[in-house]
């Protein structure tokens, strides 16, 4: 017996039982049968046809021609539903394929953009970056060099998802291919600006912050291409201030020059860098206030830098009901006491 015949005999049995005792039990059997039929991709018009045939067989007198003909309309209507149902099944299948592909792409991206947080005796560094969707349009990278300095890049493509992620891979490789002697913050931004201007279409913009921490004399020099302003924590006064920085976004004007800024870092001071996914965390009441963000950092300030960024992320994630609207990146560099 093939599945269709089995289905028909099961349907006959259920229908007979129900007409005999009108029991909930029989109705429940009907529900189970539908699950089975859906699994086997039986379209709805097939079920209508089975019902009609069985009724005609069981009640040749009462289920007269009129009654039977009325099923022509029901059948016609159900074919259209079957039409939509089959399309839906196929779209579900396609969606599953896309999801798998995205997961693979996200893993490839993780490997491509991977960076290790440097371990330095005088410094405590923490970083977290979480994509809103599968692929991350934020990017950060650490580079250590022989002059005992640690450089950090943080960038954000306007937009998110796949297009942003593709764009980021380009930035990463443009940066890797810069010669050693051109890695001062202003030169890095000026070079990348040219790469972006030539290779990315006009609707895509990238903001970027690049800074170098000179461990020997505790100077942080940096430049910014329209990136979300960083914050500075003064341990002595226990206050926060903004890291001033001005500069045009990458990819707008070919010959943009960037200005270099310097900041002296005292023991316990912190440099806090982020993408706009942090400041644009949204709750029902609107964007979070800067005070809320500062309060979150302060609450965790006694912890290691990595624990601070993780705890701040956890709290903001919770505030947003676990739905990130934008890629989220937060980095903290602290000079050890």
Partner 1 sequence: MDNQSCVKIINEWDIVSARQLGRNVAKELGFGTVDQARITTAISELARNIFLYAGQGQICIEKLYENGKTGLRLLSIDSGPGIKDLRQVMEDGYSTSGGLGAGLPGVKRLMDDFQIDSSPGEGTDIRAIKWLR
CB of 76 to partner 1, least distance (A): 5
User: Angle at the Cα of 155 (from 253 to 314), degrees rounded to 5?
Assistant: 150
Per-residue contact flags (x/-) with partner 1 for residues 7 to 46, judged by CB under 8 A: --------------------------------------xx
Per-residue contact flags (x/-) with partner 1 for residues 63 to 102, judged by CB under 8 A: ---------x--xx--xx--x--xx--xx--x--------
Going 38 to 43 to 44 to 47, the CA torsion angle's sign is negative
3-state secondary structure of 56: helix
Evaluate whether 286 touches 298 at the Cβ level (below 8 Å): no
CA 331 and chain centroid, separation = 18
| 235 binding partner 1? (CB under 8 A) | no
In the window 273-302, what residues touch partner 1 (CB under 8 A)?
none
Nearer residue to partner 1 within complex by CB, 3 or 287: 3
CA 17 and chain centroid, separation = 52
CB of 75 to partner 1, least distance (A): 5
How many residues bind partner 1, per CB under 8 A? 15
Segment holding 23, helix H or strand E: none
Nearer residue to partner 1 within complex by CB, 15 or 78: 78
Among 18, 26, 49, 229, binds partner 1 (CB under 8 A): 49
CB of 46 to partner 1, least distance (A): 6
CB of 39 to partner 1, least distance (A): 18
Q: CA nearest 135: which of 95, 176, 164? A: 164
Q: CA nearest 313: which of 333, 334, 293, 298? A: 293
CB of 87 to partner 1, least distance (A): 5
CB of 56 to partner 1, least distance (A): 11
CB of 72 to partner 1, least distance (A): 7
Nearer residue to partner 1 within complex by CB, 28 or 83: 83
Nearer residue to partner 1 within complex by CB, 42 or 225: 42
Nearer residue to partner 1 within complex by CB, 87 or 280: 87
The whole-angstrom separation of Cα 213 and Cα 26 is: 75
CB of 52 to partner 1, least distance (A): 8
Q: CA nearest 136: which of 331, 333, 324? A: 324
Nearer residue to partner 1 within complex by CB, 52 or 172: 52
Evaluate whether 186 touches 223 at the Cβ level (below 8 Å): yes
Nearer residue to partner 1 within complex by CB, 79 or 158: 79
For 265-327, list the strands marked E by DSSP.
270-274, 282-283, 286-287
C-alpha neighbours within 13 Å on the C-beta side of residue 204: 23
Burial tier of 128 (Cβ tally within 10 Å: 0-12, 13-18, 19+): buried
Nearer residue to partner 1 within complex by CB, 92 or 254: 92
| Contact set with partner 1 (CB under 8 A) | 45-46, 49, 52, 72, 75-76, 79-80, 83, 86-87, 90-91, 94
């Amino acid at each position: 017996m093939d599945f269709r015949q089995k289905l028909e005999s099961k349907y006959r049995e259920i229908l007979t039982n129900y007409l005999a005792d009108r029991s909930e039990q029989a109705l429940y059997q009907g529900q189970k049968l539908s699950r089975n039929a859906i699994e086997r991709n039986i379209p709805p018009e097939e079920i209508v046809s089975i019902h009609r045939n069985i009724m005609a067989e069981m009640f040749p007198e009462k289920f007269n021609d009129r009654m039977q003909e009325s099923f022509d309309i029901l059948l016609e209507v159900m074919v259209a539903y079957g039409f939509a149902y089959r399309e839906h099944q196929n779209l579900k299948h396609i969606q599953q394929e896309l999801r798998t592909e995205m997961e693979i792409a996200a893993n490839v991206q993780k490997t491509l953009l991977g960076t290790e947080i440097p371990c330095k005796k005088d410094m405590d560094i923490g970083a977290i970056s979480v994509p809103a969707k599968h692929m991350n349009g934020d990017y950060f990278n650490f580079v250590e060099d022989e002059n005992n300095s640690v450089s950090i890049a943080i960038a954000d493509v306007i937009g998110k998802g796949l297009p942003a992620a593709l764009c980021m891979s380009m930035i990463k490789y443009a940066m890797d291919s810069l010669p050693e002697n051109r890695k001062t913050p202003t030169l890095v931004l000026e070079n990348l600006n040219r790469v972006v201007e030539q290779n990315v279409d006009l609707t895509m913009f990238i903001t970027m912050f690049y800074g170098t921490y000179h461990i020997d004399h505790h100077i942080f020099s940096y430049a910014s291409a329209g990136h979300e302003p960083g914050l500075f924590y003064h341990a002595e006064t226990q206050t926060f201030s903004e890291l001033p920085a001005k500069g045009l976004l990458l990819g707008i004007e070919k010959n943009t020059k960037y200005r270099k800024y310097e900041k002296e870092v005292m023991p316990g001071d912190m440099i806090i860098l982020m993408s706009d996914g942090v400041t644009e965390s949204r709750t029902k009441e609107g964007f979070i206030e800067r005070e809320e963000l500062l309060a979150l950092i302060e609450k965790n300030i006694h912890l290691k830098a990595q624990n601070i960024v993780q705890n701040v992320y956890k709290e903001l994630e919770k505030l947003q009901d676990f739905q990130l609207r934008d890629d989220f990146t937060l980095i903290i560099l602290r000079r050890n006491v």
